[in-house]
């Protein structure tokens, strides 16, 4: 149905309908129109709504839907896969996270040990410098007395 047909049928001005359609596009909603939508700017909610809307469609119906909306079938399928992956918490993911956490803890422990060693070395060096200055000061006093 065209915008002018809908405007006549509902008693709404065409400008208002075009304005509403443009506002919906800006929010990332799937709306009919001659220009394809920039799907990169769609919100996650709009993508999920499209996945839900197309979930029960056959392959032919999905192709028709995508042509009407200016989408690619692969986009919708990728959005569906991403949505499902977000809901899945697998044992493999948990195992990887635990291994990463363990490796991180070992790395932190190693770095803390190295830091303590370097702090001790720095303190020892500072003490040696202080002693060296005192020794030099004593030798200068002994030379002045002679």
Nearest-angstrom CA–CA distance, 68 and 65: 5
pTM: 0.40
Q: Is the C-alpha dihedral spanning 126, 129, 134, 137 positive or negative? A: negative
Nearest-angstrom CA–CA distance, 146 and 105: 62
CA angle 75–83–68, rounded 5-degree value = 35
pLDDT (tens place) for every residue of the chain, 146 residues total: 788 888 898 999 989 988 988 888 777 666 665 555 566 677 788 888 889 989 999 999 999 988 888 888 998 998 898 888 777 767 777 888 899 999 999 999 999 999 999 999 999 999 999 999 999 998 887 777 66
């Amino acid at each position: 149905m065209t915008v002018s047909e809908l405007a006549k049928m509902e008693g709404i001005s065409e400008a208002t309908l075009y304005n509403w359609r443009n506002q919906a596009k800006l929010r990332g909603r799937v709306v009919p129109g001659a220009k394809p939508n920039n799907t990169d700017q769609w919100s996650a909610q709009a993508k999920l709504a499209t996945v839900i809307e197309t979930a029960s469609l056959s392959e032919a119906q999905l192709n028709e839907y995508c042509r009407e909306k200016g989408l690619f079938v692969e986009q919708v399928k990728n959005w569906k896969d991403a949505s499902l992956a977000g809901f899945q918490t697998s044992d493999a993911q948990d195992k990887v996270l635990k291994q990463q956490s363990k490796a991180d803890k070992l790395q932190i422990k190693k770095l803390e040990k190295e830091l303590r060693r370097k702090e001790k070395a720095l303190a020892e060096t500072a003490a040696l410098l202080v002693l060296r200055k005192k020794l030099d000061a004593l030798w200068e006093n002994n030379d002045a007395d002679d």
